[in-house]
Structure 1
Amino acid sequence: MTVDRTLFATTFTTLPDWPCPTCGKGHLKADKDALLNQETGPSKAAHEHDAWDPEWIERRFAALLTCNFANCGDLVAVLGDVSIVEEYSYDYDGEPTQEFNERLKPRSLSPAPLPIRPPEDSPELVKEALREAAGLIWQSAEGAANQVRQAVEHLMDEQGVTKSAPGAFVPLHKRIKEFEGKDPKNAEILLAVKWLGNSGSHAGGLTRDDVFDAFDMVELVLVNLYDTTTATIMAKVKAINTQKGPVKPTP
């Protein structure tokens, strides 16, 4: 499963049904009556300018989103900016009609939806770093990338890779190379995540899409290491083949 990037676009005409960050089963729903959307003071004052245009309007919005899963019902707070964009619609004769529509630009979600679904048995510190990264997506691609890189550091800890040497700190690159000795496939993926994380140390060094690539890569590694679905199914396959039919449960 890869990141559904339509859920993490820069702007929206209406807020999407993000997955619940708490239960992972429900989706976040916005009550339109509870969504606050107001024009800023400086924006109102600008209406007096002779050259004023609707696209000058600046608004702020805030809302509480509710998980629609009955056993959860958690709340997520969202806030951001609203801009006015000029758009055109066309009738059957091809005649354009000018419209000015609002676009919502989220700046913060708390707690933030995770773009990926790590396996349940993934290390908690790894998942916590990914949750931190998810919250930063809306504010800073660089900050989010650094947190994904931190998730890789925690993963190396969990895999028992050398963290420090006498009198010296072991850099992540060297740790991944050590990990390569026992798991070259996943090490190759993690090395790419590390390079993206390094770019996050420089302003403008990477894009949101780069961050989503890093999320996809980390999810793949976590599935490879901690997802037991394949092993469970294959155990059933072997048991059925041995019995040459259904396997009866043990009384």
Structure 2
Amino acid sequence: MSPKKDSFHQVEPKYITTELEESGEIGEASYGRFHGFLVCSMVLCGEIVAVAGDYSDYYHRQYDDQTEEMVEFTDRNYRTFLMRPAPPIISMPKSLNADSRKHLERAFELFWADWASCANRLRIVTEYLLDQLAIPRIAAKGKRYLDLAARIELLKAARPGHDNLLNALRVVGNLGSHDGEVDFEVLLDCFEFLEEAMVELLDRRREKMDARAALLIQSRGKPALD
């Protein structure tokens, strides 16, 4: 992704201009809002991504020993709160169902706006992933709805070894809903956990690799004959 030429614009609100004037910082700093477009550099893509958020500029002057002149430069920072369509943070298996894919794409956008809401959206993806794996939402007896923890236990019985990853997504998603705050590094962990769970549960990568390894062991390292 690279900025689309001449598409980035910054606007300083009037009240900030007044504050800078009163503090004597006018000409030294600027704060406000920005918007612009990014363009995918892949030849066959060319996607246009809209971005917006807050900016901060700090203007500096210093003496350059080589040119023996004063030089000016700007320390510019952008804090993005909107990115649409958002670049994928993790890969999706081709076999991932439409509901999971839809909510995961929404999580990519929420990553830039609200970490707590993003974590909750990953929890929703987990629910739909279990749907794809035929883990029921309603108990066989009593017709009561199963919460996510109970459904993960059912998956554990059918496909052991993935419950820790999914329970982490459940716990952090609950935290996002109830506390409204999720740590940035924790959210990145959740994306990684979800990617690993999807790859293993849908693509069965480890199972397929183990099967290939077993064939090599059986053939004593020689290639299998067709």
TMscore range, shorter length: 0.7 to 0.9
Q: Which amino acid aligns with 1:185?
A: G
Q: Which amino acid aligns with 1:186?
A: H
Are the counterparts in 2 of residues 176 and 191 from structure 1 also a CA contact under 8 Å? Answer: yes
C-alpha distance 245-220 of structure 1, shift in aligned 2 (>3 A)? closer
SS at match of 1:122: coil
Give 1:1-251 correspondences, 5 Å limit.
28-52=1-25, 57-84=30-57, 101-165=75-139, 166-227=142-203, 231=208
Going from structure 1 to structure 2, the CA distance change for 1:191 and 1:54 (only over 3 Å counts) comes to: farther
Query: 1-side partners of 2:63 and 2:92: how far apart?
Result: 44
Instruction: Identify unmatched segments of 5+ residues in structure 1.
Output: 1-27
Which stretches in structure 2 are left out of the alignment for 5+ residues? 66-70
How many Å apart are 1:191 and its aligned residue? Answer: 1.0
Q: Secondary structure at the match of 2:56?
A: strand
For 1:213, what is the secondary structure of its paired residue? helix
| Distance in 2, Cα, partners of 1:121 & 1:55 | 53
- The structural deviation recorded for 1:173 is 0.6
Task: State percent identity of aligned pairs.
Answer: 25
Superposed displacement of residue 226, structure 1: 2.4
Question: 1:210 is aligned with what amino acid?
Answer: V
- SS of the residue 2:122 aligns to: helix
Q: Point out which structure has higher relative CO (alpha carbons under 8 A, 6+ apart).
A: 1
- TM-align CA RMSD: 3.3
The CA deviation at 1:74 is 1.6
2:28, 2:60 within 8 Å by CA — same for their partners in 1? no
1:128-153 Cα distance to aligned partner (Å, 9 max, x none): 21111111111111100000000000
Equivalent AA in structure 2 for residue 139 of structure 1:
A
The answer to whether the Cα contact below 8 Å between 2:53 and 2:82 also exists between their aligned partners in 1 is yes
Q: State the number of aligned residues.
A: 215
Indicate conservation of the 8 Å contact 2:17/2:26, yes or no.
Answer: no
TM-score normalised by L of structure 2:
0.79
- Inter-CA distance 187–79: structure 2 relative to 1 (3 Å threshold): same
Query: Which protein is bigger by CA-based radius of gyration?
Result: 2
CA–CA distance in structure 1, aligned partners of residues 122 and 59 of structure 2: 37
Distance of aligned partners of 1:227 and 1:88 in 2 relative to their CA distance in 1, 3 Å threshold: farther
Change in 2 beyond 3 A, CA 1:232/1:56: same
Alignment partners' CA distance in 1, 2:125 and 2:42? 28
Q: Is the 8 A contact 1:89 1:98 kept in 2?
A: yes
Greater displacement, 227-236 / 149-158: 227-236
TM-score relative to the length of structure 1? 0.72
The code of the aligned residue for 1:43 comes to: I
Call closer, same or farther: CA 1:153–1:50 in 2, change over 3 Å.
closer
- Measured in 1, the distance between the counterparts of 2:213 and 2:161 equals 27
For residue 163 of structure 1, what is the amino acid of its counterpart?
Answer: R
Q: 1:33 to 1:246 in 2, by over 3 A?
A: farther
